[in-house]
């Protein structure tokens, strides 16, 4: 399992130390939640701070956009060249265009589904993206309760990927912890995002290793 700590739960007063610590502790990606106060009822960080995060991180960025004006934010964050740039399918009438823009900039395009958005909405787009992010909480805040409905969605998505012969990773975001990660792995997830579980632990290395399921 690949692990992407979400810095939403980090101590922002010591952000660079926090980033260094999770990178040293075995993070595979740094998950960055960009919220605009419109698409979700919370407001986080812009490119200035994310650029500072990038300078400190020794692993690539995984930027998750939770915003209304997707093309505007895509342009802003493509300049930072993350590994993945993901946006919500609920919120743009022309996702194919956005995907093309992202890919043409040399970044891996990814699509996000809210908990109640069906996997079938990806039927005609799955071959175009490199990752699908399945939300296991309603987006907006860290530390929320995991929604088990995501297990079925992972299985459906895995089936769709196989059926289409697509090369697409499955990421799960929200309420992931040491107790549900094995079942997420079994259902077919490739990457887990974890905010609260990692940053509220006493030992980031132990927390991240437990999510990697290596022991």
Please list the active-site residues. 33, 173
Residue 44 interacts, among Zn ion, ligand DX5, none and using kind-specific CB cut-offs from 5 to 8 Å, with none
Q: Find the Cα–Cα–Cα–Cα dihedral 85, 90, 93, 95, rounded to 10°.
A: 30
33 binds Zn ion (CB under 5 A): yes
Using CA of residue 148, residue 181, residue 198, residue 27, what is the dihedral sign? Answer: negative
Distance of CA 209 to the CA centre of its chain: 18
Give the footprint of ligand DX5 on residues 151-170 (CB under 6 A): none
Using CB under 6 A as the binding rule, whether residue 195 contacts ligand DX5 is answered as yes
Chain residues 72-91 in contact with ligand DX5, contact rule CB under 6 A? none
**Does position 31 bind ligand DX5 by CB under 6 A?**
yes
Q: What is the Cα–Cα distance from 119 to 29, expressed in whole angstroms? A: 24
Q: Segment 64-123, which members bind Zn ion (CB under 5 A)?
A: 64
Q: List the single partner that 83 binds among ligand DX5, Zn ion, none, CB under 5 to 8 Å by kind.
A: none
From candidates 71, 115, 143, 188, binder to ligand DX5 by CB under 6 A: 143
Q: What does the alpha-carbon distance between residue 195 and residue 152 come to, in Å, rounded to a whole number? A: 23
Cα separation of 188 and 10, whole Å?
A: 28
Q: Which residues bind Zn ion (CB under 5 A)?
A: 33, 64, 173
């Amino acid at each position: 399992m690949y692990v992407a700590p979400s810095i939403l739960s980090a101590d922002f007063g010591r952000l660079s130390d926090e980033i260094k610590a999770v990178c040293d502790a075995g993070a595979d990606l740094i998950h960055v939640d960009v919220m605009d106060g419109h698409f979700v009822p919370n407001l986080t960080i812009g490119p200035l701070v994310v650029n500072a995060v990038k300078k400190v991180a020794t692993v690539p960025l995984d930027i998750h956009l939770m915003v209304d004006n997707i093309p505007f934010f895509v342009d802003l964050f493509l300049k930072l060249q993350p590994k993945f740039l993901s946006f919500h399918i609920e919120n743009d009438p022309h996702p194919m265009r956005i995907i093309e823009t992202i890919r043409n900039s040399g970044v891996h395009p990814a699509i996000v589904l809210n908990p109640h958005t069906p996997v079938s909405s990806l039927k005609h787009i799955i071959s175009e993206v490199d990752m699908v992010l399945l939300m296991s909480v309603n987006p907006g805040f860290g530390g929320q309760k995991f929604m088990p409905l995501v297990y079925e969605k992972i299985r459906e998505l895995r089936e769709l990927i196989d059926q289409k012969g697509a090369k697409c990773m499955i990421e799960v975001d929200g309420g992931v912890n040491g107790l549900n990660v094995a079942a997420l792995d079994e259902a077919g997830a490739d990457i887990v995002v974890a905010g609260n579980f990692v940053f509220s632990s006493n030992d980031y290395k132990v927390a991240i290793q437990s999510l990697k399921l290596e022991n």
